[in-house]
Every structure is written in C-alpha cells, then in structure tokens.
Amino acid sequence: MQTTKTQTALFYPEVAVFEPEAFNYELGRRLHAEFQSRGVSLQIAPSHNRLEVAGTDHCQRFHHAKQMVAVGVKHTLTPQPCRPSADYRLVLNTSCPAKCHYCYLAASLGERTYVRLYVNVDEILQSAVKLIKKRGHEITTFEASSSSDPVAIEHLTGSLRQAIEFFGRQLYGRLRVVTKSDHVDSLLDAVHAGHTRFRFSINAEAIIDQYEEATASLEGRLNAAGRVHRAGYPLGFIIAPLILYEGWRRGYEALLDKLADSLPPAATHDLTFELIMHRFTQRSRRLILERFPGTTLAMDTQDRIHKGFGKYVYKPQKAQELEDVLRSYITERFPYAQVEYFT
C-alpha cells in the first residue's frame, strides 16, 4: 500500500490558556508573547482542569481540544516508574498534536486531550537529579515521551533540547525520546554526549495511513532518523502498536525493508527495537469510537484476552506469532540490533 501522507506543518494552537503561575517563569512569558504575535486566542484560567472545550459531542470536543494548549506549572515533580522503556518518566509536557486513533492516553486524559506545556523545566530536571544521586553509580534512565511527543512541540518550548543537554552533563543519567515527528533539526547540534537515545515510532504504512492523523509520513520519519544518526545520537525504533490486519506480514516486512534501505551500515551496530502490540481498555475503546466514529480499528474483545489494569491484548498464540515474525524480520536485516522487549 502506497502512502498518501505528506509532512505535517509545525503545530501552532488556535487557543492558548495560561495559568497565572506560568508568568513567573521566562518560558511562560515567552510563550505568551509568541502566541500573541501569531494571533492565537489567549485566555487566563486558574487551572487547566476548569477549561471548557467547545463542541456538542465527544468528537467535536476532541478535535477542538487538539487545537488548544494549556501553559502552566507542573506541581507533581517526583518522577514515576516507566517500565519497560525506562526507569522513570520525565514529563516535560502532556498530550500532543497528533490524533492517533489507538492512543493509549485516550483513557487517562479523558476529555483533556489538549497539549499541556510545563514552564518550570529547571525544577523538573532537578527532580531527576535527586533520583540519579539516590541510585549512586547505577545508570538511571528517563523516558521523555511517556505522556507526549516532545519533538512535535519542541519548536514552541525548547524544553527537550534543554533536557538533552542537561542529561549530556549527567555521568549516570540517560534520556530516552520517542517521536512520530520529523521536525528534529533544532536538536541536531545539541550537546548530547551520546546520553540521549532517540527513537522513532514507526509502523506498517497501512497503519500509519489509517490511524495516525497529524503525524509525519514513514518516509519523513526515516529521513529524520538518518539526520539524528549523523548527529551522533544513539538510535532506536519502536514498532507500535503491532496490529494483526489483513496482510500484516507483508506490511511489516515492507516496513523493515524500507528501514534497512534507509539506514547507513554504521547506524545498525548500536540499534534498538521495542515491540508493542495493540491494546485497549473498555473505557479507551468507548472514547476512541466516540472520537473517530468511522474508525476501522479492530477492538473486539472476543479476539483478545484480559490483561492487568483492564487491558485487552491479543491471545497468547497470536501474540507469540507476532513476536516471532517481527523478531525474525529484524534479525535478518539487523543482526547486531537489540530487541529490548516485546509487550
């Protein structure tokens, strides 16, 4: 299946809501001036939790929320565990401009799917330092993409570059980033010291075309991955969500063929893969169907088994088939790569 997607433009909101505390930080004041100069509708609210999102139904409210940002201060600073991708989460922002049908944040965010930008970046980073010091000489890893795609909004905040250079100075701290964006150029000359592993979320083109709205094309992501590699970052790929659709074997084989063709040999010697099969909860299924009433995303519980935290995943035989096939495709093309986990 040939992709019809084109590169997305940089995201700018239609509405920006500022919590009063945000103006105590330089980033908050800068964002206000930037949005004002672009004619963005500006509001002030005591808390983003009190925002009213326009729309008469869930679908309208979801798409309107995706045109909004809330600028505020992150008060919960202690990083939470983030297995299996890292030791802890590093939350610089929440939600993102993309509209992926299957998004695992569908349930946790509820109707608050607007992008939240946190302006107290120094405080967030200092909370990570405390954990790094607590663990002594053990390497501590932090996931910057557990609740957002920070690359997709980096042009607004510059927070990710700040975090990358911060971790570049940490002897025992490491950062991990995931993105579906190809807007990486502002990060290529960051002083990272090899301490940030830059991963791209990729999928079969049939999945990207149908279920990943407002994201970069596969070609755009692979081109960006090449630029990131040339900038000296350790590189990885997340193939997620793995979906059993008609022709899935051919689709994932073609994906890995394109990846192999796009990467220079030097990039394949310190390469990681993370494999995550599609999952959903009853609540996320309801929200997805309300937001994307025409979606063809398969969410029949009869084809799944119930796992922890209310999640439905593929039955063991199908899950094992997915894992075996993907691992074999990866091993054939990238014999030196490490598959970090399948889940």
Mean pLDDT of 151-174: 98
Q: Quick one: what percent of the chain has pLDDT higher than 70? A: 98
Q: Which of 198, 161, 157 is nearest to 178 (CA)?
A: 198
What is residue 286's predicted lDDT score, i.e. its pLDDT? 93
Q: Encode pLDDT of 38-94 as tens digits.
A: 999 999 998 877 777 888 888 999 999 999 999 999 999 999 999 999 999 999 999
What is residue 104's predicted lDDT score, i.e. its pLDDT? 85
Q: Tell whether omega for the bond before 241 is within 30 degrees of 0, i.e. cis.
A: yes
Q: What order of strands is seen across the sheet that includes strand 68-72?
A: 41-44, 15-18, 68-72, 115-118, 93-94
- The structural domains of the chain, with segments of one domain joined by +, span 15-342
Q: Which of 259, 258, 239, 261 is nearest to 322 (CA)?
A: 239
Which segments of the chain does DSSP mark as H helices, in order? 26-37, 58-65, 105-109, 121-134, 154-157, 159-168, 205-211, 218-230, 248-262, 282-291, 316-333
Does residue 7 register a pLDDT over 70? no
Provide the CATH number for the domain formed by 15-342 in this structure: 3.80.30.30
- For residue 152, give both structure tokens: 């997709």
What is residue 101's predicted lDDT score, i.e. its pLDDT? 97
- Banded model confidence at residue 158, pLDDT cuts 50, 70, 90: very high
Mean pLDDT of 282-303: 94
What is residue 308's predicted lDDT score, i.e. its pLDDT? 80
Mean pLDDT of 126-153: 96
What is residue 99's predicted lDDT score, i.e. its pLDDT? 96
Contact 238, 212 (CB under 8 A): no
What is residue 341's predicted lDDT score, i.e. its pLDDT? 98
What is residue 4's predicted lDDT score, i.e. its pLDDT? 41
Q: What is the DSSP letter of 97?
A: S
Sign of CA dihedral 309, 132, 230, 96: positive
Amino acid at 244: L
Q: Encode pLDDT of 185-205 as tens digits.
A: 999 999 999 999 999 999 999
Q: Encode pLDDT of 204-221 as tens digits.
A: 999 999 999 999 999 999
Q: Encode pLDDT of 243-267 as tens digits.
A: 999 999 999 999 999 999 999 999 9
How many Cβ atoms from other residues are within 10 Å of residue 129's Cβ? 13
The three-point CA angle 284-290-293 to 5° equals: 120
Q: Encode pLDDT of 226-245 as tens digits.
A: 999 999 999 999 999 999 99
DSSP bridge partners of 291: none
Computed on alpha carbons and rounded to an integer, the radius of gyration of the chain in Å comes to 20
Q: Encode pLDDT of 81-134 as tens digits.
A: 999 999 999 999 999 999 999 998 877 888 889 999 999 999 999 999 999 999
Q: Encode pLDDT of 164-185 as tens digits.
A: 999 999 999 999 999 999 999 9
Mean pLDDT of 137-151: 97
Measure the CA–CA gap between 233 and 27, rounded to whole angstroms.
26
Measure the CA–CA gap between 237 and 179, rounded to whole angstroms.
9
What is residue 110's predicted lDDT score, i.e. its pLDDT? 83
- Banded model confidence at residue 271, pLDDT cuts 50, 70, 90: very high
How many Cβ atoms from other residues are within 10 Å of residue 211's Cβ? 22
